[in-house]
Amino acid sequence: MDATDGFPVPAFAAGTTRAQAQAELRRAFAAAGIDSAALDARLLLAAALGIGPTSLFAHPDAPLDRAGAARLREYAARRLAREPIARILGEAEFWGLRFRLSPETLAPRPDTEAVVEAALAAIAPWRGPQLILDLGTGSGCILLALLSETKEAFGIGVDRSPAALATARANAQANGLADRAAFVASDWASALTGHFALIVSNPPYIRAEEIDALDPEVSRFDPLAALDGGPGGLDCYRAILSDAGRLLTPAGHIVFELGHDQTEPVADLAAEHGFAVETTRRDLGGHTRAMVLSRERALVSRGSSPT
């Protein structure tokens, strides 16, 4: 099979109008089993023409020029090979901010906004400057979303990949947050000391043996290092929790993104390290996606006697 799994790339012959190209593209994507065929067709056509997606409606009968048609063929071939739109366009929107992507960074997911929401709720009583640590920062999307909402916080984003760190730095700069963010190479928190009021992480949590069964957009294009959570999917939670105790302030919070069936196992692991679940938060699909842990609650529930 070729890169597009045998699905033909539309030719977009000379004289093809925008409306025809959009319809052709939508049909080709739908035939290849791409769920978001109509939306993807619109986004890629607009990008190939260098215009905003809504401008397509203004001139549906305008013919594609040669360069636009060539770009569209390239984009169509990439999408038919299951490359996600965000990677074709090179950027994604998350929490209303724009993030550049690179092959070493996970594409930001809308579901991950649940982590930002949970973290913001947990730190709502914050006064004054505080430190945030984001472990496995990738594009920097979680940390930078949090910094955009907390005017006095300073954040450290950690990643093992220097290329991911370069992308995160560029994203901090582009979003006007570079003066409150630093990006550091480390294997989880091993290189760090400090007192963080908030530790956030969307670690790799897919069970190693399940990665091939994910959508091809994920298994072929997201970096394996950002997905693979080891045989049981929990290796990275274990690594993070074993360092969290020495890095978190007494009243601090840890906020994790979770796989859809990991609420109990992560809560159990957290308990082994002296943390208890304060709250959880669901994503748009209704799955428990974010977990807020604190040490305080663990002490309270351990210390209180039943009355």
208 in contact with ligand GLN (CB under 6 A):
no
Question: Which residue in 204, 252, 253, 298 binds ligand GLN (CB under 6 A)?
Answer: 204
The beta-strand segments (E) located in 118-187 are 131-135, 154-159, 181-185
Q: Minimum CB separation from ligand GLN for residue 254, in Å?
A: 15
Q: Which residues pair with 158 in a beta bridge?
A: 135, 184
Q: 252-281: which residues touch ligand GLN (CB under 6 A)? A: 257
Of 65 and 187, nearer to ligand GLN (C-beta) is 187
Nearer to ligand GLN, 22 or 288 (CB): 288
Find, among 275, 268, 269, the residue nearest to 300 by Cα. 275
Q: How many residues bind ligand GLN (CB under 6 A)?
A: 11
Of positions 139, 202, 262, 288, contacts ligand GLN by CB under 6 A? 202
d(CA 280, CA 294): 12
Contact 187, 157 (CB under 8 A): no
Q: Counting contacts by CB under 6 A, is residue 94 touching ligand GLN?
A: no
Nearer to ligand GLN, 183 or 237 (CB): 237
Question: Does residue 82 interact with ligand GLN by CB under 6 A?
Answer: no
Question: Within 13 A of 240's CA, how many CA atoms are on the CB side?
Answer: 29
Give the Cβ contact number of residue 307 at 10 Å.
3
User: 10 or 204: whose CB is closer to ligand GLN?
Assistant: 204
Among candidate residues 89, 60, 59, the one with its CA nearest the CA of residue 74: 89
Q: Give which of 75, 69, 80, 89 is closest to 21, Cα–Cα.
A: 69
Q: Which of 205, 237, 256, 275 binds ligand GLN (CB under 6 A)?
A: 205
Q: Which is nearer to ligand GLN, 97 or 227 (CB)?
A: 227
- The least CB distance from residue 21 to ligand GLN, in Å, is 31
Tell which positions 224-253 bind ligand GLN, by CB under 6 A.
227
> Which is nearer to ligand GLN, 115 or 165 (by Cβ)?
115
Q: 257: which strand partners?
A: 290
Nearer to ligand GLN, 12 or 99 (CB): 99
- Asked if 12 interacts with ligand GLN (CB under 6 A), we say no
Name which of 167 and 202 has its Cβ closer to ligand GLN.
Answer: 202
Residue corresponding to tokens 């929990």: 234
Per-position b or e across 11-41, b if 16+ CB within 10 A of its CB: ebeeebebebbbebbbebbeebebeebeebb
What is each CA distance from 279 to 1, 143, 294, in whole angstroms? 47, 20, 10
140 makes contact with ligand GLN (CB under 6 A) = no
296: its two tokens: 């305080």
For residue 290 the two structure tokens come to 């974010």
Stretch that binds ligand GLN, among 97-105, 182-190, 202-210, 276-284 (CB under 6 A): 202-210
Give bridge partners of residue 92 from the DSSP assignment: 99
Decide if residue 105 touches ligand GLN (CB under 6 A). no
Please report, as ranges, the residues that interact with ligand GLN according to CB under 6 A. 106, 109, 202-206, 214, 218, 227, 257
